[in-house]
Chains A and B, each alone.
Chain A
Amino acid sequence: MLRDKGQISFDFLIGIVVFLFTLMFVIQFIPGLFISTSGEGSLDSVAYRTANLLVEDPGWWENSTHNGTNWEINIGNISRIGLAEDEFPDIRRTYTPNKLNRSKIQQLMELNETMIINNLGLYDMVSGTKINYGYNISIDKNGDPLIINGSIINIGKIPPANQDRFRISRTVLVETGKIAEFSVDELSSWNLSNESVYINVTGPQNDSVIIQIIEFNFNTTNSTFHHAKLNGTNISSNNYSVYKKTNTSKFINVSQSLPVNITNVSSLRFVFNNSMFPTNVTYWIELSFTNFTNASLSSAIPVEYNNRTQPLFEPANLVVGVWK
């Protein structure tokens, strides 16, 4: 029996086999445990760079004689794509990074994939062969996709669910439409007894007509907004919405609960459907209130919407996702 010593035991053999199988199993089934991170890391910087270009750069175009940052109207000669608003297209820099220009966003959605990939550098050269990355650029507001002029801002492919994706989100201001802001004192009324104010809108309008009335200071408890009329006819509730805001709240939609109490309201915002202003004539909007008598309404000349429009910017998130 002494000769049996020093030989491999059958139990040990089974044991080591079970151990090795377990080890291989663990290595295979825990994702990322033994994966080297050095090769994958580069796409984080690609996502960062792309978001930076879009948010902080107005873009650039040039041909043999002219150049500028307004590439959105010179798409044949684009050298760089950027979405930042730029007051002075002749110089290369912008003074307003993080403020995204609406026509640039809309033009970016029109560009074909090759142009976007080349101008934003969304590819890699592997031994002379160009390999395009998958990409997705979207803008969302409070978690919902942002809609400009009826279309959702989402460029690129749908991100694959089962693949590592590198994304970066940037807080930006996006130009979503036009707005005209009036203080209560500026508004006019033809007839104080029916407590209506009048605003002229000249068509045609391509965007929603947004009117904001500020500096309410009514202390009476029963001041209300009743309804809106266009050229003397009641506007259907499908064609406009009303938002109210107090000193401490954000704008809330109160279209479903008209007439709405406007005591302690600091601003009212009206959004009218642009299809109500189709032709080149002047339409008049009438806004009817009750207990509006505290307001010092000025003349009988209605204020003009078109003279007072300015771009409406809203906070949103631009999200860039890149994958291989």
Chain B
Amino acid sequence: MNETAQMHTLEGFVAAGVILMMVMLISENTMIITPQCELGMDVQLQQTAIDVLNVLDIAPDCALQFNLNLTEHVAGYNLSEPIPQNNSLKPLDTEISNLLGDILYNVDFVYVGNGTITNDTIANGTITNDHVIMHGAPIENSMSASRFITLYNETGGTWNISSNNVQVVEVRLIIWQI
């Protein structure tokens, strides 16, 4: 009787059973993210970024931990301090982390010029991007939202703005989830 090259039937069934069990175990313990779901998560993340900037800007007295709105936070930014993790922006950092929970974020201030706007030195075309709050490198699926703040001579703080000029600062919030 030629017994070579024959299927070992019983072992074959057992092996198939083991493979099936493994596939089921993996499939039941893994969250399968379909592309549709990912798109929904991106929308959610972007919306959260927009909402946080909006809430910071419109918050009335007593609503948040510090009684400051976004303009006041930006005005209090000391341009001469080393960046990032600026000491004068600790309150802003705290407020954002209160609102975002365990979502990670960076904040950039983007403005024209070097923070000194006088009649003679209006916007010579350079755009400054200060990474003022950093909590890491954004990953591929990060989202960002922006809000524009206008500073005047009176609100300027350490910004050097002459009385007949304004400085527009874009507050850019970049957020991502791990």
Interface residues of A (CB under 8 A from B): 11, 14-15, 18, 22, 25-26, 29-33, 37, 40-41, 44, 48, 55, 96-99, 166, 168-173, 179, 181, 212, 245, 248, 250, 310-315
Contacts and interface: CB of A to CB of B under 8 A. Distances in A.
B62 A312 contact: yes
Given A18-B12, A98-B51, A168-B47, A173 B24 contact: no
A216 to B, nearest CB: 14
Q: In the A-B complex, list the 5 residue pairs whose CB atoms are closest, starting with the nearest.
A: A171-B51, A313-B63, A37-B36, A30-B27, A44-B40
Contacts of B13: 18
Contact of A173 (B20, B44, B55): B55
Interface in B33-62: 34-36, 39-40, 43-44, 47-48, 51-52, 54-55, 58-62
B63 to A, nearest CB: 4
Contact of B61 (A33, A168, A248, A310): A310
Chain B contact residues, majority secondary structure: helix
B20 A98 contact: no
B16 interface: yes
B32 A173 contact: no
B42 to A, nearest CB: 11
B36 A98 contact: no
Nearest to B12: A18
A54 B26 CA distance: 40
A40 B16 CA distance: 34
A248 B91 CA distance: 8
A250 B55 contact: no
A274 to B, nearest CB: 18
B178 interface: no
Contacts of B58: 96, 98-99, 173
Contact of B60 (A11, A48, A172, A313): A313
A319 B58 CA distance: 20
A31 B99 CA distance: 35
A15 B20 CA distance: 15
